[in-house]
Amino acid sequence: MYDLAIMWDWAGFAVRWLHVITAIAWIGSSFYFIALDLGLRKVPHLPVGAHGEEWQVHGGGFYHIQKYLVAPETMPDHLTWFKWESYSTWLSGAAMLMIVYWVGGELFLLDPTKVDLALWQGIAISAGSLTIGWLFYDFLCKSPLGERPTTLMLLLFVLLVAMSWGYDQIFTGRAALLHLGAFTATIMTANVFFIIMPNQRIVVKDLQEGRTPDPKYGKIAKLRSTHNNYLTLPVVFLMLSNHYPLAFATEWSWIIASLVFLMGVTIRHYFNSLHARKGNPHWTWGVTAALFVTIAWLSTAPMMDSYEESEARALTPHEQVFADAAGFEDAYYAVVGNCSMCHAREPGWDGMHWPPKGVVLETEADVARHARQIYLQAGVSHAMPPPNAIEMDTEYRRQIVSWFRAASNG
């Protein structure tokens, strides 16, 4: 059983690695084409149907790029489709969500201090919310609001704020922010899969069969692509948030996440305006800085309440197994003696105001709840405690490993 814990952690690492790589590819190509599209120049003597062109230099070579609003007169023999970057990012992210927050749901997904749910109910909410979110967003885009992009964007923001609050009422802090990122990323990938790519296929087929493509398909795809452009940076923030308790483990984490979406808009507006040669709206940096300062201020709201509630709640049956296992007492004293200086409700390390990643290891219940993390971080590996903080004796690590394995094999 304990070998399964190690392999499962490596599986999570591998999927996370894949997710980051594919996300880099998707975001990179997305930002490149947005910048290219906005920077196109209308010059004399363009081919029939061409909207603009751009000359670029990279890697010692020059590139001459032309864009057609609908399609060229004849279809080229080779046509590159940009889609797998998006699909691979979503699929790897979904796999990571399942590994960390579904299989590890007892620890990472549900917060019994907020609502009493069975694990299967939490998983159902996790999966169902992603689907429902896309359907509602797609309905808004296909309604008459699709002709009013500013109003549509405002309603999308309201939807994201509502989801941020809703997730925070059910899930743990880190799961809530991660799910908000998954909710947004699902909208973005579904835009590619259900709208942008099918519309491009219609245009290509019309051209191949000698029909004049309808410009409406390009217009529809452009709206969805614009939404993806403004949502990208907040999704990256939410992907990283589970490493920073000041983002996920505060009373106002759902407001912090909501404000990050506004920061994404101000930052992208600046670069979009720059690429389109519409000036340098420096005011966006002032607004972004003000939003960031507000977020930092909100993050300083007391986190102690959630720790006290965690201490008060009863252990789940899964957690109780570790509290009753042979060797728990030795492991508990090993953890308290080597870890609780930092992982305390009021850390004793100078300059540390909150426990790292929001993990508290003071009481027996604390240690039982975080058994798997302790085993991986301070048992089979030497990641914790940091060697410049305390030199943990090998015997203590052996006691932790023996305890975890006894509980897992019991």
Query: Can you give the pTM of this predicted structure?
Result: 0.81
For 280-323, how does the pLDDT look when each residue is reduced to its tens digit (9 = 90+)? Answer: 999 999 999 999 999 999 987 655 445 555 555 678 888 899 99
Cβ-contact 56, 62 below 8 angstroms: yes
Mean pLDDT score of the chain = 89
Question: Which residues are 306's β-sheet partners?
Answer: none
Q: What is the pLDDT of residue 214?
A: 85
Res 266 pLDDT > 90: yes
Res 118 pLDDT > 80: yes
- Which tokens belong to 272? 């979009």
Q: Which stretch of 168-182, 241-255, 319-333 has the lowest confidence by average pLDDT?
A: 241-255
For 213-253, how does the pLDDT look when each residue is reduced to its tens digit (9 = 90+)? Answer: 888 888 898 899 999 999 999 999 999 998 888 898 888 99
Res 385 pLDDT > 50: yes
Give residues with Cβ within 8 angstroms of 65, minimum separation 6.
Answer: 36, 53, 54, 55, 56
Q: What is the pLDDT of residue 304?
A: 45
Cβ-contact 50, 66 below 8 angstroms: yes
Q: What is the pLDDT of residue 395?
A: 95
Residue 345 — very low, low, confident or very high, per pLDDT cuts 50/70/90?
confident
Rg (CA), the chain: 25
Q: Which stretch of 18-22, 75-79, 155-159 has the lowest confidence by average pLDDT?
A: 75-79
Q: Which of 98-112, 232-246, 279-293, 375-389 has the largest mean confidence?
A: 279-293
11 burial type by CB count under 10 A (0-12 exposed, 13-18 middle, 19+ buried): middle
Q: What is the pLDDT of residue 310?
A: 56
For 51-92, how does the pLDDT look when each residue is reduced to its tens digit (9 = 90+)? Answer: 899 999 999 999 999 998 777 777 777 888 889 999 999 999
Q: What is the pLDDT of residue 1?
A: 47
For 187-199, how does the pLDDT look when each residue is reduced to its tens digit (9 = 90+)? Answer: 999 999 999 999 9
Res 254 pLDDT > 80: yes
Q: Please state, in angstroms and rounded to a whole number, the distance separating the CA atoms of residues 309 and 288.
A: 34
Phi then psi dihedrals of residue 174, to 5 deg: -70, -35
